[in-house]
């Protein structure tokens, strides 16, 4: 403060200079009040003013000795990063997870099992956000959001569901926020629970339960305590048995639930969703995938794609990039489905074969002639299941069946075989406004039977055995592959985004198109299978035809990784998994297992990044897809794209080894 140096003691020149050069505005906290006192004192006495000035001088001295003359503002540039460390995030997740409390579980309604028998609705109560809860619920199966402004209308809508999840969401931003049910909400809760099986999840203070007069008709009751994003996500995971529940109630709720009460619920080994550090992967290193993704988009290796990484049963990276096409109109979303091409082999046909092997209906040494009597006496008769699924059966790689159905002059679909409208005779839908003669399937199988075998023995990847297995499986069960896979696997796994014939199940905007076909169907293939042979079978092939998303593929791969167990159900024994995940022709340098692809044996092959274990397995697909699981590291990796857009000539994704380079990044992200 100017003038303060007049009262300085001799010898304090440096301090005097400091005091003399400081303006009062630099010290607003102490001095403003001093000014007010000074003004008042001037009216009373000059002596009082001097005393006050001396007091101010002492304050300034203290500031000088405290080093405030060299004061620097705190740099808050990285404050959020420094505070929100992965260690803190993990602790927060653990605290929230351990707090979730199960108070009622009538007839074992929680965690939800037997998804194939469930039709689930979600109803929101409360006035706070519920997005994270709903999205996480829908990761596990189809959960329909049902709402209405009228109770009777809502009750009518809920009649077609056999389970209703009610989320009570109240803001917890401030402790004085109202956490109570409204009278209307209580009436609605009573009426819904009176007519439906109900799980009530309370994202608010447990004291809100004091308003509920009776819990008689509520089958499942969970208290999640707060309405945060993490609480919503973890509570949804608990409902479907992805995580354990072991919380205890901190207060008593009348005579219904005592303090310290809580029912334990154990995991059903469904996929959970977390952060990389929980499974010893580095978030920072995994972000390198984002950089690769930008290169893929910028260099037009594919219009868009989905990438998922899971470890130890927890999905820790699940992102979508780019758009459906280069028109950049529809961005890729996690629930969008891709044509996965040859991944169909290990996600549809192979599990059905494994199931029959486990039941003793066939074994790896069963011959094709035994499975299909029409192969008796042919050059396919004595080939075994093991040989053809290991791709050492000397079968041709593929047959371009469609070529013989094109007009020899126009090179367009011949009117002898095709019509633009469906009829009894022309009933096989090959693409939009293009229908093949229904009897042509017989010609396809006849050509496979009559086809010469390769003269050279050894390994040669072939689609043809999967045509034959499709015929066998459909005759064995008297059902098509679409119905078989749904009933035997997908519905119970909660793989509700997985299906043949996607246009019959999904909105077209949720289906990613593949190629602009100019050589056969003369149209953009959007919801119709890209593979020509599968298209000529009506879109349901043993080798191709399946559409799905990364999340659903991860469920199936995780089931394999868990030796056939998932979601409380055992699909396969460990012995069955090991039987098919084995190289029987390794001595001949054949890397393949039975159906499953395996890591390369020869350096010239590029099946993987060469950074995964020999126990690992998976497959790739022509459209730009890839799925791999490693029992040793516990990692599941899924990559889905439509690299064949606009044409299959676009091989940049393949030539740059993008899928396996990302696999290397994942392996490098492991925290030692």
Instruction: Return the domain boundaries, the chain.
Output: 4-70, 88-268, 289-381+480-668
Statement: residue 30 has pLDDT above 60: no
Which pLDDT score, from 0 to 100, does residue 49 have? Answer: 52
Which two tokens mark 577? Answer: 């998994």
Residue 210 C-beta-side C-alpha neighbours within 13 Å: 10
Binned at pLDDT 50, 70 and 90, residue 172 comes out as: confident
Is the predicted pLDDT of residue 47 greater than 60, yes or no?
A: no
Question: CA-to-CA distance for 502 and 495, rounded, in angstroms?
Answer: 13
Decide which of 3.30.200.20, 3.40.50.150, 3.40.710.10, 3.30.930.10 is the CATH code for 289-381+480-668: 3.40.710.10
| Residues with Cβ within 8 Å of residue 526, at least 6 apart in sequence | 508, 511, 513, 514
Which of 277, 310, 315 has the alpha carbon at shortest distance from 84? 277
User: Residue 27's pLDDT is what?
Assistant: 46
CB 523: neighbour CB atoms within 10 A? 15
Q: What is the pLDDT of residue 63?
A: 72
**What share of the chain has pLDDT > 70, as a percent?**
90
Of all helices (H) and strands (E), which one includes residue 635? strand 635-641
HSE-up of residue 440 (Cα within 13 Å, Cβ side) = 24
Q: Which residues pair with 167 in a beta bridge?
A: 124, 201
Question: Is the pLDDT assigned to residue 21 strictly greater than 70?
Answer: no
pTM for the predicted model, two decimal places? 0.89
Residue 295 near residue 279, CB atoms below 8 Å: no
Question: What pLDDT does 36 receive?
Answer: 61
Reduce the DSSP state of residue 672 to 3 states and report it: coil
pLDDT of residue 7: 40
Among 19-23, 327-331, 470-474, 533-537, the range scoring the smallest mean pLDDT is: 19-23
Q: What is the pLDDT of residue 41?
A: 55
Mean pLDDT, residues 516-520:
98
* Mean of the per-residue pLDDT values of the chain: 92
Report whether 165 contacts 201 (CB < 8 A): yes
pLDDT in tens, 264-319: 999 999 999 999 999 999 999 999 999 999 999 999 999 999 999 999 999 999 99
Q: What is the mean pLDDT of residues 18-45?
A: 52
Output the pLDDT for position 96: 98
Report which DSSP code applies to 347.
Answer: I
pLDDT at 515 over 50: yes
228 CB-side CA count, 13 A: 14
State pLDDT tens for residues 178-201: 999 999 999 999 999 999 999 999
**Cβ atoms within 10 A of the Cβ of 294, count?**
11
Do the domains spanning 88-268 and 289-381+480-668 agree at the CATH topology level? no
User: Taking a C-beta distance cutoff of 8 angstroms, is the pair 636, 561 a contact?
Assistant: yes
Mean pLDDT computed over 570-591: 97
Whether the upstream peptide bond of residue 111 has omega within 30° of 0, thus cis, is yes
The pLDDT of residue 471 is: 98
Longest dimension (CA), the chain: 126
| Confidence at 45, pLDDT banded by 50, 70, 90 | low
Tell whether the model's pLDDT for residue 74 goes beyond 50. Answer: yes
pLDDT-derived band at 13, boundaries 50, 70, 90: very low
- In 10 A of CB 77, how many CB atoms? 8
Residues 3, 558: Cα–Cα separation, whole Å: 78
User: In whole angstroms, how far apart are CA 430 and each of 160, 537, 546, 639, 648?
Assistant: 35, 8, 15, 27, 18
Q: How many residues does the chain have?
A: 672
Question: Model confidence over 368-389: pLDDT tens digits?
Answer: 999 999 999 999 999 999 999 9
Q: Give the pLDDT score at 22.
A: 46
Give the separation between CA 550 and CA 572, rounded to whole angstroms: 22
The pLDDT of residue 12 is above 50: no
The CATH code of the domain at 88-268 is: 3.40.50.1700
What pLDDT digit, counting tens, does each position of 416-446 carry? 999 999 999 999 999 999 999 999 999 999 9
Cα–Cα distance, 178 to 530 (Å, whole number): 55
Pairing state of beta strands 272-273 and 428-431?
Answer: unpaired
Whether the Cβ atoms of residue 211 and residue 181 lie closer than 8 Å to each other: yes
Q: How far apart are CA 602 and CA 495, in angstroms?
A: 35
pLDDT band at 65 (very low <50, low <70, confident <90, very high): confident
Q: Are 557 and 627 in contact (CB under 8 A)?
A: yes
Task: Please give the share of the chain, as a percent, with pLDDT higher than 90.
Answer: 85
Residue 483 in contact with residue 505, Cβ under 8 Å? no
pLDDT digits (tens, 9 = 90+) for 390-420: 999 999 999 999 999 999 999 999 999 999 9
Residue 384's contacts (CB-CB under 8 Å, 6 or more residues apart) are 364, 365, 366, 367, 368, 393
pLDDT at 161: 98
Q: What is the mean pLDDT of residues 606-631?
A: 97
Residues 335-340: what's their mean pLDDT? 98
* 163-169/434-436 β-pairing: unpaired
Residue 403: exposure state from Cβ atoms within 10 A (0-12, 13-18, ≥19): exposed
Residue 628 has pLDDT above 90, yes or no: yes
């Amino acid at each position: 403060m100017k003038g303060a140096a007049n009262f300085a003691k001799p010898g304090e020149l440096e301090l005097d200079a400091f005091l003399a050069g400081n303006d009062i505005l630099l010290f607003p906290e102490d001095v403003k009040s001093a000014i007010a006192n000074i003004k008042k004192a001037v009216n009373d006495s000059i002596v009082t003013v001097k005393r006050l000035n001396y007091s101010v001088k002492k304050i300034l001295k203290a500031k000088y000795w405290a080093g405030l003359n060299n004061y620097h503002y705190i740099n808050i540039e990285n404050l959020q990063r420094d505070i929100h460390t992965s260690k803190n995030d993990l602790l927060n997740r653990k605290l929230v997870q351990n707090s979730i409390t199960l108070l009622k579980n009538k007839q074992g309604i929680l965690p939800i099992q037997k998804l194939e028998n469930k039709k689930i609705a979600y109803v929101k109560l409360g006035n706070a956000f519920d997005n994270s809860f709903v999205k996480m619920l829908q990761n596990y199966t189809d959960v329909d959001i049902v709402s209405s402004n009228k109770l009777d209308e809502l009750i009518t809508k809920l009649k077609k569901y056999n389970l209703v999840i009610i989320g009570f969401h109240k803001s917890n931003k401030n402790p004085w926020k109202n956490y109570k049910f409204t009278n209307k909400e209580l009436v609605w809760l009573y009426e819904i629970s009176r007519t439906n099986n109900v799980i009530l999840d309370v994202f608010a203070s447990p004291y809100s339960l004091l308003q509920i007069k009776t819990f008689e008709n509520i089958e499942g009751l969970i208290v999640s305590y707060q309405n945060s994003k993490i609480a919503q996500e973890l509570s949804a995971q608990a409902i479907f048995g992805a995580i354990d529940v072991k919380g205890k109630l901190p207060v008593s709720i009348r005579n219904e639930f005592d303090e310290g009460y809580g029912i334990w619920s154990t995991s059903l080994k469904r996929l959970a969703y977390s952060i990389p550090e929980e499974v010893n992967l580095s978030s920072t290193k995994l972000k390198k995938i984002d950089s690769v993704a930008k290169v893929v988009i910028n260099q037009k290796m594919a219009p868009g794609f989905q990438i998922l990484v899971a470890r130890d049963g927890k999905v820790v990276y699940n992102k979508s990039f780019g758009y459906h096409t280069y028109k950049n109109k529809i961005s890729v979303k996690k629930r969008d489905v891709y044509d996965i091409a040859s991944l169909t082999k290990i996600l549809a046909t192979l599990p059905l074969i494994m199931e029959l092997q486990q039941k003793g209906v066939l074994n790896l040494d069963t011959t094709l002639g035994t499975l299909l009597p029409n192969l008796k006496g042919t050059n396919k008769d004595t080939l075994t299941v093991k040989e053809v699924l290991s791709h050492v059966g000397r079968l041709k790689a593929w047959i371009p069946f469609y070529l013989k159905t094109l007009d020899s002059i126009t090179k367009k679909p011949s009117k002898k075989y095709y019509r633009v409208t469906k009829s009894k005779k022309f009933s096989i839908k090959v693409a939009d406004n293009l229908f093949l003669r229904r009897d042509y399937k017989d010609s396809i199988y006849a050509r496979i039977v009559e086809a010469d075998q390769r003269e050279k023995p050894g390994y040669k990847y072939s689609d043809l055995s999967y045509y034959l297995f499709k015929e066998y499986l459909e005759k064995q069960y008297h059902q098509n592959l679409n119905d078989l896979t749904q009933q035997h696997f997908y519905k119970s796994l909660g793989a509700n985004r997985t299906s043949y014939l996607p246009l019959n199940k999904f909105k077209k905007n949720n289906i990613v198109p593949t190629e602009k076909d100019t050589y056969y169907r003369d149209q953009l293939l959007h919801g119709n299978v890209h593979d020509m042979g599968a298209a000529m079978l009506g879109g349901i092939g043993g080798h191709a035809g399946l559409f799905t998303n990364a999340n659903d593929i991860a469920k199936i791969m995780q089931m394999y990784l868990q030796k056939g167990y998932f979601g409380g159900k055992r699909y396969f024994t460990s012995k069955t998994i090991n039987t098919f995940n084995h190289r029987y022709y390794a001595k001949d340098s054949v890397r393949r297992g039975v159906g499953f692809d395996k890591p390369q044996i020869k350096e010239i092959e590029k099946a993987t990044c060469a950074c995964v274990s020999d126990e690992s397995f998976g497959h790739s697909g022509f459209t730009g897809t890839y799925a791999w699981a490693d029992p040793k590291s516990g990692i599941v990796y899924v990559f889905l794209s439509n690299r064949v857009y606009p044409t299959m000539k676009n091989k940049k994704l393949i030539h740059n080894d993008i899928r396996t380079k990302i696999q290397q990044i994942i392996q490098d992200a492991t925290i030692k």
